[in-house]
C-alpha cells in the first residue's frame, strides 16, 4: 500500500467515524475538577459539600428546586404534587408517584425495585440511629419529629441496636405511596426545610444497606439520574447515566427579566434528562494545576462551590468582572454572582477573656470588630470577590435585607480605641499592649489553618489588632481538629464560613440558638430573647411579623457581637462553549443532569 492510498483510506475512515449516525451515538462526557476530596458516598454520613455534589446526582429528595427560578421555587420530583399541611402546620402529608424505581443492583436479583413511602422513613431512621453517627442528626433533631428522638435515645440508653421495625409517630408510611410527618411544633416551611433539594433525606432501600453493611458508601443505590461507575478515593469519581431512570423532561420557570434563564429554557425545554452520559470528577487540590486543567480543556467548567475559581486567578480570568479577551476568543463564558454564604469570626462566649454579656466584654468584641478592615480583606486577599456583611444572614434568603446597615460592616479604629479606653482596657504595665480592666494581660488567641492563604488573613488581623494595642497569637492546626475543638468550646476566636441550605434565613440564626451550642452555635451564645425569637421564627408563617423578628435578631447579634460578619463571597464560574445550559444553583447541589455537552464543538475547538 503506497502513502497516497493510505491517506485516502484514513480520510475515509475519519469521515465514517464522524458520520451523523456515529455522532448521534457518541457518548457525552462532562469533566470537572473538585478542589477537595469527597469523604463518603453514603448520604447519612455526609458533612461536606464535595460529597454532597456527588450524592445529589445519585439520590433524590421528594422535591427539587426549579433550576432556573429566582427566587428559589420548590417543585415535585418523586412526590406526586405538593405536600398537604394541617391547619396548624404540625402534620404534613406527601404522596409519591408510583412507578419510580431504584437503579439496578445485584441485591435486587434481577427485579426492578419500586420506591415506596417506607424507603423515605428508613432514611430518617438511619440518620437517627446512633450507630451511624450521622452528622445530620443535629439538623433533623431541630424539626422535632414525634418519637424519632425517643427511639434514638432508647438505642443509646439500652445499648441495643436501633429498632428499625418499631413505628415512629413523626415519620411514617400511611400506605405504599403516602408519607406523613408529625412535628411537636408548627413548621410552616417543612417543605424547604427537609423535603426539597436534599438527597440526604432521599429514599434508600433497606435491603441494599443491610447487604453491603460497612461498605455501603462504595455501593450507593438511589433513584437519581446517575449511578456510581468508578471511585478512586480522593482522586477520581465517575458517574454514568442510570439506564433505568424514568422519563423526565427539562422544564423550568425563569423570571421574565432573566435573559440567561430564558435563553437556557428556550434551548432545553422538553429535552430528556440527563443529557450527559458520563460525569468524570477529578480531585485537584492545588490551585495552579486546577486552573491549568481548565485552560487545557481537561476540565469543562469551573463551577459551583465544589469547584471554585482560585482567588489568585480571578482577575486574570475576569478583570473588572468581564471575561478576559484571550478567553473570550476561545468562546469561554464567565459569570459572577454574590453567593448565599457569609464569612464570620466567632468569639467563644464562655471564654473568660472575650466571652460574657457584661458591658466591658461586649465593648471588647465590638472594638475588635471595628478594628478589623473587612474592605481591605475583600480588596487585597479576596481580589474583590465579596461584599461586606452587615450581619450573618445571607443573601437570597428570606429575612435578608440588602438595605440593612450596621456597625458590623464598619472599619473604625478610632471608635475601637475609644471603646477600649472607656471600658478600662488600657496599658497598665507600660509594655505597649492593652491590659484587661482588672490589670491582667489582654491576649487574644486566634485559631487558624496551615494553608498559605490563611497567612494573609492572619497578617491583616495582626496588623489591625496591633493598631489598637491588642496583642494576638495564632494557634495553627488542621480544619477537622479546629472544628472539633470549636464545638467543644475550646477555641477562643476563629474564622469560618457558612452557606445557606434552603431559602429561609432562619438557618443562619442557628448560630445564635442556645439549644444548638456544640453544633451550629460555635460562639456558644445563649441569650433568652434570641432563643425566644428563634423558636417563634420556626412556627410563624412568612409575613410582616416574621420579618420584624429577623430585624430584631440582627440587631441583637450586632449589639452583643458573638459573631463578626465579614463578607458574602462572590462566585466566578467559567465554562467552555461546548457546555450548554449551566446556571449556578442557589442552595442545591444537583445540576450536572441539567446541562448538555456538545462533543462535536468540543472536538472542533480542540483541533
CA distance 385 to 549: 30
CA distance 156 to 158: 6
Cell representation of residue 329: 476568543
Cell representation of residue 282: 477529578
pLDDT at 339 over 70: yes
pLDDT at 187 over 90: yes
pLDDT at 601 over 60: yes
CA distance 533 to 529: 6
443-448 and 471-476 beta bridge pairing: parallel
pTM (whole model) above 0.95: no
pLDDT tens column, 60-69: 999 999 999 9
Task: Assign 260 a pLDDT band (cuts: 50, 70, 90).
Answer: very high
The whole-number pLDDT of residue 14 equals 35
Cell representation of residue 236: 477520581
Comparing 136 with 14, the larger pLDDT belongs to: 136
Check: CB of residue 583 under 8 Å from CB of residue 264: yes
Count, residues in the chain: 607
Residues with Cβ within 8 Å of residue 356, at least 6 apart in sequence: 349, 362
CA distance 377 to 372: 9
| Domains recognised in the chain with CATH numbers | 26-44+224-332+576-607 (3.40.190.10), 59-211 (3.90.76.10), 341-569 (3.10.105.10)
Task: Assign 17 a pLDDT band (cuts: 50, 70, 90).
Answer: very low
CA distance 72 to 197: 11
pLDDT tens column, 325-337: 999 999 999 999 9
The whole-number pLDDT of residue 25 equals 64
pLDDT at 441 over 50: yes
CA distance 163 to 180: 19
Residues with Cβ within 8 Å of residue 418, at least 6 apart in sequence: none
Task: Assign 73 a pLDDT band (cuts: 50, 70, 90).
Answer: very high
Check: CB of residue 522 under 8 Å from CB of residue 508: no
Residues with Cβ within 8 Å of residue 29, at least 6 apart in sequence: 276, 277, 278, 279, 280, 597, 599
Of 128, 131, 118, the C-alpha closest to 161 is 131
The whole-number pLDDT of residue 116 equals 98
Query: Quick one: residue 524, left, alpha or beta (phi over 0 = left, psi -120 to 50 = alpha)?
Result: left
The whole-number pLDDT of residue 10 equals 39
Amino acid at each position: 500500500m503506497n502513502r497516497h492510498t493510505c491517506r485516502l483510506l484514513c480520510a475515509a475512515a475519519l469521515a465514517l467515524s464522524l458520520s451523523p449516525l456515529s455522532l448521534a451515538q457518541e457518548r457525552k462526557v462532562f469533566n470537572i475538577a473538585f478542589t477537595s476530596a469527597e469523604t463518603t458516598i453514603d448520604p447519612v454520613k455526609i458533612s461536606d459539600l464535595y460529597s454532597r455534589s456527588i450524592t445529589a446526582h445519585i439520590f433524590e429528595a421528594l422535591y427539587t428546586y426549579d433550576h432556573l427560578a429566582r427566587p428559589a421555587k420548590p417543585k415535585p420530583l418523586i412526590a406526586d404534587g405538593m405536600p398537604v399541611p394541617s391547619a396548624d402546620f404540625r402534620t404534613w402529608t406527601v404522596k409519591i408517584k408510583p412507578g419510580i424505581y431504584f437503579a439496578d443492583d445485584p441485591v435486587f436479583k434481577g427485579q426492578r425495585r419500586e420506591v415506596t413511602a417506607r424507603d423515605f422513613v428508613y432514611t430518617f431512621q438511619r440518620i437517627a440511629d446512633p450507630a451511624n453517627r450521622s452528622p445530620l442528626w443535629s439538623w433533623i433533631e431541630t424539626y422535632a419529629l414525634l418519637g424519632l428522638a425517643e427511639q434514638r435515645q432508647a438505642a443509646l440508653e439500652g445499648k441495643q441496636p436501633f429498632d428499625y421495625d418499631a413505628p415512629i409517630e413523626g415519620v411514617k408510611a400511611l400506605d405504599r405511596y403516602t408519607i406523613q410527618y408529625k412535628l411537636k411544633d408548627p413548621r410552616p416551611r417543612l417543605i424547604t426545610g427537609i423535603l426539597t433539594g436534599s438527597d440526604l433525606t432521599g429514599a434508600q432501600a433497606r435491603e441494599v444497606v443491610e447487604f453491603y453493611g460497612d461498605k455501603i458508601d462504595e455501593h450507593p443505590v438511589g433513584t437519581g439520574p446517575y449511578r456510581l461507575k468508578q471511585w478512586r478515593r480522593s482522586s477520581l469519581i465517575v458517574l454514568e447515566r442510570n439506564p433505568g431512570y424514568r422519563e423526565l423532561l427539562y422544564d423550568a420557570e425563569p423570571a421574565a427579566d432573566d435573559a440567561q434563564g430564558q435563553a437556557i429554557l428556550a434551548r432545553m425545554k422538553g429535552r430528556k434528562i440527563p443529557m450527559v452520559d458520563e460525569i468524570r470528577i477529578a480531585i485537584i487540590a492545588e490551585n495552579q494545576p486546577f486552573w491549568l486543567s481548565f485552560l487545557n480543556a481537561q476540565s469543562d467548567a469551573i463551577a459551583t462551590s465544589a469547584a471554585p475559581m482560585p482567588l489568585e486567578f480571578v482577575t486574570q480570568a475576569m478583570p473588572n468582572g468581564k471575561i478576559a479577551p484571550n478567553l473570550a476568543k476561545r468562546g469561554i463564558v464567565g459569570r459572577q454572582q454574590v453567593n448565599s454564604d457569609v464569612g464570620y469570626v466567632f468569639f467563644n462566649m464562655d471564654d473568660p477573656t472575650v466571652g460574657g454579656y457584661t458591658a466591658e466584654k461586649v465593648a471588647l468584641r465590638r472594638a475588635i470588630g471595628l478594628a478589623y478592615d473587612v474592605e481591605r480583606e475583600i480588596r487585597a486577599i479576596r481580589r474583590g470577590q465579596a461584599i461586606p456583611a452587615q450581619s450573618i444572614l445571607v443573601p437570597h434568603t428570606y429575612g435578608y435585607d440588602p438595605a440593612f446597615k450596621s456597625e458590623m460592616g464598619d472599619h473604625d479604629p478610632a471608635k475601637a480605641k475609644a471603646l477600649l479606653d472607656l471600658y478600662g482596657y488600657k496599658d497598665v504595665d507600660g509594655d505597649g499592649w492593652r491590659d484587661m480592666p482588672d490589670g491582667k494581660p489582654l491576649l487574644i488567641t486566634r485559631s487558624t489553618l496551615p494553608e498559605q492563604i490563611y497567612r494573609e488573613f492572619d497578617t491583616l488581623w495582626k496588623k489591625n489588632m496591633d493598631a489598637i494595642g491588642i496583642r494576638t497569637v495564632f494557634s495553627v492546626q488542621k480544619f477537622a481538629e479546629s472544628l472539633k475543638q470549636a464545638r467543644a468550646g475550646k477555641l477562643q476566636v476563629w474564622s469560618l464560613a457558612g452557606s445557606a441550605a434552603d431559602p429561609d434565613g432562619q438557618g443562619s440564626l442557628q448560630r445564635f440558638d442556645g439549644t444548638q451550642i456544640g453544633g451550629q452555635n460555635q460562639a456558644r451564645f445563649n441569650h433568652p430573647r434570641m432563643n425566644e425569637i428563634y423558636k417563634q421564627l420556626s412556627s410563624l408563617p412568612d409575613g410582616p411579623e416574621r420579618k420584624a423578628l429577623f430585624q430584631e435578631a440582627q440587631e441583637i447579634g450586632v449589639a452583643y457581637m458573638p459573631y463578626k460578619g465579614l463578607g458574602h463571597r462572590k462566585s466566578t464560574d467559567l465554562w467552555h462553549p461546548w457546555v450548554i445550559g449551566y446556571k449556578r444553583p442557589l442552595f442545591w447541589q444537583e445540576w450536572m443532569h441539567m446541562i448538555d455537552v456538545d462533543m462535536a464543538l468540543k472536538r472542533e475547538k480542540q483541533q
